[in-house]
Homo-oligomer: A and B are copies of this chain.
Amino acid sequence: MINVGIIGSTGYAGSELVRLLSNHRHVCIKSVCSKSYAGNMYKNVYPNFNPSDLVCEADDMEKLAKECDVIFLALPHGEASRRVNADILDKCRIIDLGADFRLQNIDVYESWYCEHYSKDILKEAVYGLCEINREKIKGRRIIGNPGCYTTCSILSLYPLVKEGLIEPDSIIIDAKSGVSGAGRGLSAANLFCEVNESVKAYKIASHRHTPEIEEQLSYACGREITISFTPHLIPMNRGILATCYASLTSDADYDRLREAYEKYYGNEYFIRIMDKGVFPETRWVKNSNFFDVGFTVDKRTNRVIAVGAIDNLFKGAAGQAVQNMNILFGFDEKEGIGFIPPFPV
A residues lining the B interface (CB < 8 Å): 12, 15-16, 19, 22-23, 46-52, 169, 172, 174, 176, 178-180, 184, 186-188, 190-202, 204-205, 226-228, 230, 232, 234-239, 241, 243, 245, 269, 272, 279-288, 290, 292, 296, 298, 300-301, 303, 305, 307, 313, 339-345
Report 14 cross-chain contacts, Cβ distance below 8 Å, ordered by A residue. Answer: A19-B341, A23-B340, A176-B232, A178-B197, A184-B191, A186-B188, A190-B192, A193-B344, A197-B238, A199-B241, A204-B298, A205-B300, A228-B298, A230-B243
Cα(A135)–Cα(B13), bound, Å: 41
Q: In the assembled complex, how far is the CB of residue A261 from the closest CB belonging to chain B, in whole angstroms? A: 15
B48, A340: Cβ atoms under 8 Å? yes
Contact indicator B200/A236 (Cβ below 8 Å)? no
Instruction: Please indicate the chain B residues that have their CB under 8 angstroms from the CB of A204 in the complex.
Output: 279, 296, 298, 305, 307
A26 to chain B, nearest CB (A): 15
Chain B residue numbers with a CB within 8 Å of A340 are 19, 22-23, 48-49, 52
Q: How far is the CB of A241 from chain B (nearest CB, A)?
A: 5
Task: Output the least CB separation between A181 and chain B (Å).
Answer: 10
User: Smallest CB-CB separation from A278: which chain B residue?
Assistant: B47
Q: Are the C-beta atoms of A197 and B344 separated by less than 8 Å?
A: yes
Partner of A245, one of B202, B228, B280, B307: B228
